[in-house]
Amino acid sequence: MVARHGQVELAHRANGPSLSTPVNVKSVSKSVLSALVGIAIEKGHLEGVDQRIAPFFEEYLSEDSDPRKRDITVGDLLSMRSGLQRTSGSNYGAWVSSSNWVRNALQRPMQSDPGTERSYSTGNSHLLSAVLTQATGQSTWAFAQEHLAEPMGMALPQWMADPQGIYFGGNDMRISARGLLAFGEMYRNGGWYNGQRVVPQDWVRASWVERSQSRWSGAGYGYSWFTRREQGHRMHYGWGYGGQYVFIVPTLELTIVATSQPYASGGRQHRRRLQAIVTEEIIPAAEQGTGG
């Protein structure tokens, strides 16, 4: 799906469910979770990105030997710079098979000081979901439903939770292509949707500031958003396994969404095709003012 100047210019379904059917957007969920953190800060549930997370997890940290864990902040989790050993990649299976995901993520060894090196880890995002649950007094899904999905008229079915009932932070949210396009448009418009402010404008700006860089793609990374320059334009995007994307190009008033069947989409080659369509076809067409 492609929207330009707030109007849908392309809505194409190749296979699978309709564009209005919620689908698994995988790690694009991290960008949605980031929005929830921004809302929670605005509403006073959280102090800000510099707030340390240790007070939320004393039961897991009281006997921990590495004092650096007490310095991890909300912002460190958002920017993937907690310093904790990652739970993604080869560690993912053992992590989600554990009896307590929060404890497992927190009790992993520190591999760098908080706020320094980037290491992409869904465990960081899940810790954010646990923080939100405690800070707001609501489940992550209930908070998202009240402050994001309902104001935008966006379907957000309940998704997977860990053994303690904490909704999976940063993975497996189910959002339709149309819902994801609306989410992207809301961010493109500085947090506003249909005349209602959903996310603070300052949070949108802060989320897109590059705070680290991916060692794999070279893209910058802010508060759970990737950012890079393409064809002379700054592009911000949420990215999920198997070909799930929401791209935003503010200078062109352009929002692009792609969803894919995560485990049957051709892997890296499919991802590169989608990125090429955006950078080599859609962006140049927008620059020329062409449509159709």
Confidence at residue 214, expressed as pLDDT on a 0 to 100 scale: 86
Our CA angle for 185, 233, 241, nearest 5°, is 60
Evaluate if residue 190 carries a pLDDT over 70.
Answer: yes
pLDDT confidence tier of residue 204, bands split at 50, 70 and 90: very high
CB count within 10 Å of CB 157 equals 11
Q: What gap in Å lies between CA 134 and CA 166, rounded to an integer?
A: 10
| CATH number where 100 lies | 3.40.710.10
Confidence at residue 282, expressed as pLDDT on a 0 to 100 scale: 95
Q: What gap in Å lies between CA 130 and CA 139, rounded to an integer?
A: 9
pLDDT digits (tens, 9 = 90+) for 46-70: 999 999 999 999 999 977 679 999 9
pLDDT digits (tens, 9 = 90+) for 238-266: 999 999 999 999 999 999 999 999 887 66
HSE of 238, CA atoms in CB hemisphere, 13 A: 33
φ/ψ (deg, to 5) at 7: -115, 135
Instruction: DSSP letter for 25, please.
Output: -
Confidence at residue 95, expressed as pLDDT on a 0 to 100 scale: 96
pTM value > 0.75: yes
Residue 33 token pair: 């979770």
Tokens 């710079």 — which residue?
81
Evaluate if residue 37 carries a pLDDT over 80.
Answer: yes
Distances in Å between the Cα of 145 and the Cα atoms of 139, 140, 148, 288 are 10, 8, 6, 39
Confidence at residue 266, expressed as pLDDT on a 0 to 100 scale: 65
Q: What gap in Å lies between CA 287 and CA 107, rounded to an integer?
A: 49
pLDDT digits (tens, 9 = 90+) for 121-152: 999 999 999 999 999 999 999 999 999 999 99
- Please tell me the total count of domains within the chain: 1
Q: Which residues, other chains included, contact 93 with Cβ-Cβ below 8 Å and sequence gap of 6+?
A: none
Q: Average pLDDT for residues 3-11, to the nearest whole number?
A: 96
Evaluate if residue 108 carries a pLDDT over 70.
Answer: yes
Q: What gap in Å lies between CA 181 and CA 191, rounded to an integer?
A: 13
pLDDT digits (tens, 9 = 90+) for 212-228: 888 878 899 999 999 99
Q: For residues 207 and 226, is the Cβ–Cβ distance under 8 A?
A: no
3-state secondary structure of 96: helix
Average pLDDT taken over every residue of the chain:
95
Q: Average pLDDT for residues 110-117, to the nearest whole number?
A: 96
Domain residue limits at 184: 2-288
User: Residue 164: what residue type?
Assistant: Q
Confidence at residue 21, expressed as pLDDT on a 0 to 100 scale: 97
Q: What gap in Å lies between CA 272 and CA 26, rounded to an integer?
A: 17
